[in-house]
Amino acid sequence: MSSAPSTALRICPLCEATCGLTLTVDGGRVTAARGDRDDVFSRGFICPKGAAFPEVDADPDRLTSPLVRENGVLREAGWDEAFDRIAARMRPLIEEHGPNAVGVVLGNPNVHTVAGALYPPLLIGALGTRNLFTASTVDQMPKHVSSGLLFGDAFAIPVPDLDRTDHLLMLGANPLDSNGSLCTAPDFPGRLKELRRRGGTLTVVDPRRTRTARLADRHLALRPGTDALFLAALVHTLFAEDLTDLGHLAAHVEGVDEVRRAVEDFSPEAVAAPCDLDAEAIRTTARELAAAPTAAVYGRMGSSTVAYGTLGNWLVDVLNVLTGNLDRPGGALFPLSATAPAPRPAGPGKGFALGRWTSRVSGHPEAKGELPLAALAEEIDTPGEGRIRALITIAANPVLSAPDGRRLDAALASLDFMVAVDPYLGETARHADVVLPPPPPSQSAHFDFAFNGFAVRNQVRHTPPAVPLGDGRMDECEIHARLILAVSGMHGAPPEAVDALAVDSTLAKAVTQEHSPVYGEDPRAVAARLTGATGPERRLDLMLRLGPYGRSHGLTLDSLRAAPHGIDLGPLRPRLPGLLKTRSGRIELLPAPIAADLPRLRAALGSVPDPGTLQLVGRRHLRSNNSWLHNVPALTGGSNRCTLQIHPEDAARLGLEAGALARVKGEGGELEAEVEITDTVRPGVVSLPHGWGHDRPGTRLGVASRRPGVNVNQLLDGSRLDPLSGTAVLNGFPVHVSPLL
Ligand SMILES: Nc1nc2c(c(=O)[nH]1)N[C@H]1C(S)=C(S)[C@@H](COP(=O)(O)OP(=O)(O)OC[C@H]3O[C@@H](n4cnc5c(=O)[nH]c(N)nc54)[C@H](O)[C@@H]3O)O[C@H]1N2
Ligand SMILES: Nc1nc2c(c(=O)[nH]1)N[C@H]1C(S)=C(S)[C@@H](COP(=O)(O)OP(=O)(O)OC[C@H]3O[C@@H](n4cnc5c(=O)[nH]c(N)nc54)[C@H](O)[C@@H]3O)O[C@H]1N2
Ligand code: SF4
Ligand SMILES: [Mo]
């Protein structure tokens, strides 16, 4: 007997835009996906990845049960056996070698799952390890560090007020292909077009003429890696031409004169040669920014994963401050997510500390409790006291996403024990002794703990599982909870115990805080009010009740569920000074670590790249997502995407022909890639996408391994980092390119 098809709502987990999908469910399977027109935020928008949700969900290569290694070979196992194995191996290892012997790697999809938001902090706490590595240090860590120093809170990240701004200066971002990042905006392309339609101005700074750049009023194709110089020259010009106007911010900012002095050397003429931009174009950009009624400066990947990443990210917000655009409508505002702690009264905070400990081998300072992902391999393969002997990877594929995958590959193979929480047996998970596969996304509830905090509109949505958990499946929240119990000596305790502990510790603190909605209450009485059938649901309910809309909107899990298409919480609103947690209680415009890094930028004024090299930059494709969507035929058809793009002049000079193979040599290795000649990359620059290189043995990626592509990160040896944030330089590094004879 078969039932009629039904529909279910599911927030898309495939990029940061968080679109609401309407899924068609037939016979327990998702058969179609379209945009949910009633979604309060995405209003029906969908992209080709969202439309391929059914194929992503039903990929036959997804693992259906845990895998356990026996005599060197992975075989299917039951959940109890898998967790027994973890407890049996991890506990003695920690007892003998201490907590730092276990490393943890958290990858990108953790920001797209409920489990990834709620459990990793508890896992790190339970292990007590300092060896934490995440995708942030191949991505946005410079922004966290800059925000930590400026505002005292690494998560206080202003987002451009896309729907109201008059002027957007965007650096190193290509939302027409990426759908946006640290700026959650379903239909980002439509919002940019709307900005132009209402008479606003869009300037795009990118060494490639991207689809986004083609939409802009002005495209500045600067030399890769020089954004910080360009931005410093904008700040210089604002001061030189008396164009600064802090407006409402004046009372909340210190260090303005110090910044003026710090950028004295960075005149447009001084940066013109290294940036390869016209000094007058730089001046015009500064003047237009200052003259716009409202404006926002926004920088992402291409200005983050570069040698001066933290300085560049700092300068982005220095510009937002000096033009009075920070924290005002139409400028760059701080979202207020429904699960953020309730705002506290203004006043001095604890500030942001960097480098509280350092990595064992190279002495890299920690940032936000993390060490550079680029240093993971050396922390495993360098002998000595404190070496990482066991590793837990959750939703991470650093063999492809981090520098020097070959070295990391060998390092992972040498571990005493490894656990991977991953739905695929991919390039990284194939090294694990135990693989714990989460169910496909249709079987999981969804809530955007991370992205609501970076969204261009305050709103909140929750979608329950579209399809019941399959036979033999375990919800990813339960996988994480059992993993925590297994490594912390509580193996066998019920997984709800982990959530109950989290609720208790949150409440114990909340009832003592005067600004909390539960101040002075009995924690047990509050806990008894929580609804939700599972531990993670009760934790979400608690966060909503304690959050900024708990009291004002009566927001709870039940009230949220009563609004299946979400609840709109209005446009972004000013949040200063309450948001500031610096020691001064003000915006500290020239923090000491930044000042100490500026001489490095000053030294770059005199340098241009060696003419014998080309600078490599990355790119993203709308139908891809980092390293893990290449196994879905619906998203991988068509021509080869893993091509080396090169400008016609460079191709002619080097004797490269379209469609032929080129040899690309970097500091960490070499590879061969198909040549694509295009003037969308500027001269002196080549572009190769990341996330490819699916030709390693021992994976179970039938489709991806037939068209493997090459791993661009093999060109890096892991030594190029932004020193303040430990972020790898993935854009703007030197390579030698030659024809493959
Ligand atoms: N050269 C270069 N390198 C880059 C970049 C670049 O632009 N250029 N970009 C960098 C950036 S921004 C990032 S974020 C990183 C990303 O790099 P990673 O953090 O390593 O993330 P992915 O490559 O997306 O791999 C994600 C893994 O999670 C698994 N997965 C998918 N869904 C789930 C799920 O629901 N639960 C669990 N537990 N696992 C899941 C996938 O199978 C895959 O193994 O790459 C970085 N590397
Ligand atoms: N389709 C798709 N969408 C994705 C992803 C994906 O892999 N595929 N990944 C997701 C993730 S994890 C992230 S973090 C976001 C990233 O999303 P975005 O931040 O938009 O990043 P990219 O799309 O990599 O675009 C970066 C741009 O920077 C340019 N660039 C390179 N070097 C420089 C430089 O030195 N200066 C300047 N100004 N520009 C430079 C590149 O040419 C490129 O166009 O995308 C997310 N969305
Ligand atoms: S834009 Fe992002 S969130 Fe929206 S449908 Fe596409 S992949 Fe999903
Ligand atoms: Mo990312």
pLDDT by residue (tens digit) across 429-449? 999 999 999 999 999 999 999
696 shares a domain with 616:
yes
Same domain, 489 and 531: no
pLDDT at 607: 87
Look at 18-27, 245-254, 339-348, 411-420 and tell me which has the smallest mean pLDDT: 339-348
Burial annotation 677-702 (CB, 10 A radius, 16+ → b, else e): bbebbbbbbbbbbbbbbbbbeebbbe
Residues 107 and 180 placed together within one structural domain of the fold: no
Give a yes or no: residue 353 inside a domain. Answer: no
Q: Say whether 652 sits in a helix, a strand or coil.
A: helix
Rounded distance between C-alpha atoms, residue 400 and residue 394, angstroms: 15
> Which ligand is located closest to the Cα atom of residue 277?
2
Taking a C-beta distance cutoff of 8 angstroms, is the pair 474, 439 a contact? yes
Q: What is the mean pLDDT of residues 376-389?
A: 97
Whether residue 722 sits in one domain with residue 615: yes
Question: Residue whose CA is closest, atom 17 of ligand 1?
Answer: 401
Cis ω before 274 (30° cut-off from 0): no
* Ligand 1 atom having least distance to the Cα of 444: 35
Instruction: Count structural domains, the chain.
Output: 5
Q: Which domain holds residue 615?
A: 609-739
> In terms of domains, do 203 and 225 share one?
yes
Q: Which atom of ligand 1 is nearest to the CA of 108?
A: 19
Residues 179, 36, single domain; the answer is no
Q: Is residue 463 part of a domain?
A: no
The set of protein residues with a Cβ atom below 6 angstroms from ligand 3 is 12, 14-15, 17-19, 46-47, 49-50, 179, 186
What CATH number does the domain containing 305 carry? 3.40.228.10
Q: What's the one-letter identity of residue 516? A: S
pLDDT value for 1: 46
For a mutational test of ligand 2's pocket, the pick from 174, 205, 304, i.e. the residue with the most ligand atoms closer than 8 A to its C-beta, is 174
Q: What is the pLDDT of residue 637?
A: 85
Confidence at residue 507, expressed as pLDDT on a 0 to 100 scale: 97
For ligand 1, residues with CB inside 6 Å are 107-109, 113, 135, 138-139, 301, 394-398, 401, 421-424, 426, 438, 476, 618, 626-628, 690-691, 712-713, 730
Give phi and psi for 324, each to the nearest 5.
70, 15
Q: What is the pLDDT of residue 298?
A: 98
User: Is 143 inside a domain boundary?
Assistant: no
Asked whether 110 lines ligand 2 (CB < 6 A), one says no
Which ligand gives the minimal distance to the CA of 138?
A: 1
Mean pLDDT of 141-163: 98
β-strands 132-134, 102-106: how paired?
A: parallel
Token pair 């393969």 in the structure block, residue: 381
Do 257 and 397 reside in the same domain of the chain?
no
**C-alpha–C-alpha distance, residues 618 and 712, integer Å:** 9
Instruction: Provide the terminal-to-terminal Cα distance of the chain, rounded to the nearest Å.
Output: 63
C-alpha span between 119 and 127 (Å, rounded) = 12
Residue 99 lies in a domain: yes
Q: What is the mean pLDDT of the chain?
A: 97
Q: What is the mean pLDDT of residues 105-111?
A: 98
For residue 609, pLDDT beyond 90: no
Instruction: Assess whether 410 and 548 both reside in one domain.
Output: no
Same domain, 633 and 588: no
Q: Is residue 2 very low, low, confident or very high in pLDDT (cuts 50, 70, 90)?
A: low
504-530 residue pLDDT tens: 999 999 999 999 999 999 999 999 999
| Residue 656, domain CATH | 2.40.40.20
Predicted confidence (pLDDT) at residue 466 exceeds the cutoff of 50:
yes
Identify whether 68 is part of a domain. Answer: yes
Provide, rounded to the nearest whole percent, the portion of the chain with pLDDT above 70: 100
Q: What is the mean pLDDT of residues 441-460?
A: 98
Please report whether residue 375 resides in a domain.
Answer: no
Number of Cβ within a 10 Å radius of residue 279: 17
Do 734 and 712 fall within a single domain? yes
Asked whether residue 302 falls in the same domain as residue 392, the answer is no
* Domain co-membership, 320 together with 214: yes
- Could you give the angle at which helices 120-127 and 476-487 cross, rounded to 10 degrees? 10
Query: 20 CA to middle of ligand 3, Å?
Result: 8
Q: In residues, how long is the chain? A: 741
Q: Which atom of ligand 3 is nearest to the CA of 17?
A: 3
pLDDT tens digits for 35-89?
A: 999 999 999 999 999 999 999 999 999 999 999 999 999 999 999 999 999 999 9
* Residue bearing the CA closest to ligand 2, atom 31: 302
Which has the closest alpha carbon to 499: 523, 481, 475?
481
Give the single-character DSSP code of 439.
P
